[in-house]
Amino acid sequence: MMSIEKILRRFAYPIGILFPWLLTPIAFLITDYLPKANVPLLYIVMVVFIAINVTVELAIINALSSFFAFSFFFAEPYGSIIIHQDEDLLTILLFLLTSVIVGYMATKHKQNVQRIRVREFMTDIELELLEKLPKALDTNDVLNAMRAALEPWKESCVLITRDSNWATHPTIRRMTHLRKTYLEELLELRLTPELIAKIPDLQQEHDVYFLFNSRQVIGLLKISIENIQYLPKDIFLLLLHQVNISLERTSLSAELEKEKIAKENELLRSALLSSVSHDFRTPLTTMIGATSTVMEFGDHLDKQQTRELLTTVLEEAQRLNRYTQNLLDMTRLGFGELRLERDWVSVEEIISVVKKRLKPLLIQNDVRAEIDPNLPSLYIQAALIEQALFNVIDNAIKFSPPDASIEVSCVKENDFIVINVCDQGPGLPEEEREKVFERFHTAEKGDRRRSGSGLGLTICRGMIMAHGGNVSIHANPRRTADRINPGCCIRIEIPIETNLGDSNKNPDMPGSHPAAE
């Protein structure tokens, strides 16, 4: 439904001219009960009403029309706009003067009230924008915050960016093709200090506002000012200034992040080359030595010596294979190429396969496993969990003293199966416990001669987290009194899947699918 104000604006001039004459019958009714001198008050009320709801110009037209209506019906001689009596002439002139002054003052008051309201509204928008801008992480966040701030005037404002369909906006459609071409050229500007200094002139020349950082124009803001009444330009320009500051901040943050990533990649590359060159050279040297000995002195060696040398070659080849597998797994995790192929597997199967793989490493140590017989099966990719557990126990063997046992316990806690791998080694300081999960990180204490590339625990955490679980390190609760070898425990938490909607799979059937070795 059309509001009264819209009706008055649409039919402003006919109403301004005719309404006083239509109001005259009411004025006649007043004269039956009140003196004729009160009739001008009725016309003045009408003038004030129009002044408040429309414009002062229309109020003046209405006042002049009221002047003639009063002169025609209420001033002698009646039926004529000619006035003979000085008293009536003075009354009409005072009425006209009062109507003009009151109408003008009412209009100005209305405009001031509207300006105050728009200013308060703009202040609220500015505060909301200033709250969003510090949280903006990139250029798109800043532009989205700006679009939200301009939403009340979306029909009169258009934010021109490279990836927006700005040419269809009503404000742009009214522009010539040449002016649209100019806007496209402005968007492609590569800014220099000299060009940045010319931005105020470019804004005035093309009637747009620039959104930019120190390198490029991010967007242009085109506003139909004639459609936005009482827009406080100082607040609006401050708002644009804050947006440009945020665009510069996000640009610098992005560049800093790129430099940081490049530096980290370089450090990782150096660490990888260093680690690979060291960890591959040692087994290769041993293999070359053992193989050359067999080839050169094979005729002089007995079967036992030959077997020992070949066993050494096999062990070092297996060691190289583990390093290679770790590097491949780390690459898959790092590039997000790890895809889970899940199936139901029991915890006993996983532990059994891992113990078989560990046999060549258990020369001076052994693994003792305690498994709760009531554990449910896990819906996992068995090969990954096996590799993760293998890396953890392999790490424990490296740090365990001779003849020490590696204790593995498997229990159910809430919605997780928890696997604890505890050793009797030198332990880890609390500040080192999270760092060992970083790529290529190795602790500074313990027997470092037997350490690997620093990838095993990193890969373990990545594989477990891919299943929705977690890996953490804690002190060994059974060896708190031993200050030399307090040991540590690595806790692996794997979630239990209970509602997968697959009737063909039975989570309570151990051995429903054999674990892959």
**Banded pLDDT at 245 (limits 50, 70, 90):** very high
Banded pLDDT at 2 (limits 50, 70, 90): very low
Q: How far is C-alpha 489 from the geometric centre of its chain's CA atoms?
A: 37
Rounded distance between C-alpha atoms, residue 377 and residue 61, angstroms: 90
Record the pTM. 0.47
Mean pLDDT of the chain, nearest integer: 78
CA distance 292 to 288: 6
Q: Is 381 helix (H, G, I), strand (E, B) or coil?
A: coil
**Who contacts 10 (Cβ-Cβ below 8 Å, separation ≥6)?**
2
Is the confidence at residue 485, as pLDDT, over 60?
yes
Confidence (pLDDT) at 503: 38
pLDDT at 407: 92
Instruction: Give how far the C-alpha of residue 359 lies from the chain's centroid of Cα atoms, to the nearest Å.
Output: 49
pLDDT in tens, 110-161: 778 878 887 888 888 888 888 888 888 889 999 998 888 888 888 888 889 9
Q: Is the pLDDT assigned to residue 447 strictly greater than 60?
A: no
Q: Are strands 366-371 and 405-413 parallel, antiparallel or unpaired?
A: parallel
Which of the residue ranges 4-18, 158-172, 279-293, 471-485 would you say has the lowest mean pLDDT? Answer: 4-18
Give the pLDDT score at 422: 92
- Residue 445 is predicted with a pLDDT of 42
* Best CA proximity match to 492, nearest among 336, 405, 325, 380: 380
Label residue 382 exposed, middle or buried (CB < 10 Å: 0-12, 13-18, 19+): buried
Q: pLDDT for 259-279, tens place per residue?
A: 887 786 676 566 556 656 656
How far apart CA 247 and CA 253 sit, in angstroms, is: 10
Asked if pLDDT for residue 440 goes beyond 60, the answer is: no
Averaged pLDDT for residues 176-194: 89
pLDDT at 25: 77
**Alpha carbons 432 and 442: distance in angstroms, whole number:** 9
Per residue in 271-320, pLDDT tens? 556 656 656 776 788 888 889 888 888 787 888 888 888 888 888 888 78
In angstroms, what is the C-alpha Rg of the chain? 43
pLDDT score for 339 = 67
Q: Calculate mean pLDDT across residues 169-179.
A: 86
pLDDT band at 211 (very low <50, low <70, confident <90, very high): very high
91-100, 149-158, 270-279, 441-450: which has the minimum mean pLDDT? 441-450
Q: What pLDDT, on the 0 to 100 scale, is given for residue 235? A: 76
Rounded CA separation 338/331 (Å): 9
Alpha-carbon gap, residue 464 to 80, rounded angstroms: 101
**pLDDT above 80 for 172:** yes
How much is the pLDDT for 110? 76
pLDDT at position 42 is 74
The answer on pLDDT for 90 being more than 50 is yes
d(CA 258, CA 288): 43
CA distances from 192 to 1, 197, 215, 216, 265 (A): 53, 9, 7, 9, 31
Question: Which of 13-27, 327-341, 469-483 is predicted with the least confidence, judged by mean pLDDT?
Answer: 327-341
pLDDT on residue 411: 93
pLDDT of residue 450: 46
pLDDT at 390: 86
Least confident of 108-112, 392-396, 448-452: 448-452
Model confidence band, residue 427 (pLDDT cutoffs 50, 70, 90): confident
pLDDT at 412 (0 to 100): 92
The first and second tokens of residue 337, run together, are 């190429």
First to last CA, the chain: 75
| Residue 19, pLDDT above cutoff 80 | no
Condensed to tens digits (0 to 9), the pLDDT of residues 314-362 reads: 888 887 887 677 667 656 655 555 567 788 999 999 999 888 888 878 8
Better-predicted residue by pLDDT, 264 or 446 = 264
* pLDDT the model gives residue 212: 92
Share of the chain above pLDDT 90, in %: 12
**Domains, the chain, ordered by start:** 4-126 (no CATH), 152-231 (no CATH), 257-333 (1.10.287.130), 338-495 (3.30.565.10)
Categorize the per-residue pLDDT at 494 as very low, low, confident or very high, splitting at 50, 70 and 90.
very high
